[in-house]
Amino acid sequence: MRRWIQEAVKRPGRLRRYVARVYGQEGFTQRGTIRVEVLREIAKRKDSLGRAARLALTLRGLRGEA
């Protein structure tokens, strides 16, 4: 099986840095993951940051959390 997830993430960590810069501590849960509400809000964007948020939501769904 190919490593499609690693290839899909072009710039690791930039979504976390963006959330920390714009939303601060309120953008994260106690466990340190990005809040789903914040991800859904960012996913509405049409740029590559929105694409990264949509991928994060997809990966959360694969894990069974969304």
| 8 A C-beta contact, residue 13 and residue 32 | no
Could you give the maximum distance between any two Cα atoms of the chain, in Å? 37
Q: What pLDDT band is residue 66 in, cutting at 50, 70 and 90?
A: low
Q: What ranges do the domains of the chain cover?
A: 4-61
Q: pLDDT tens for residues 4-46?
A: 888 888 888 999 999 999 999 999 999 999 999 999 999 999 9
Going by pLDDT thresholds of 50, 70 and 90, the confidence category of residue 63 is: confident
- DSSP annotation of 33: P
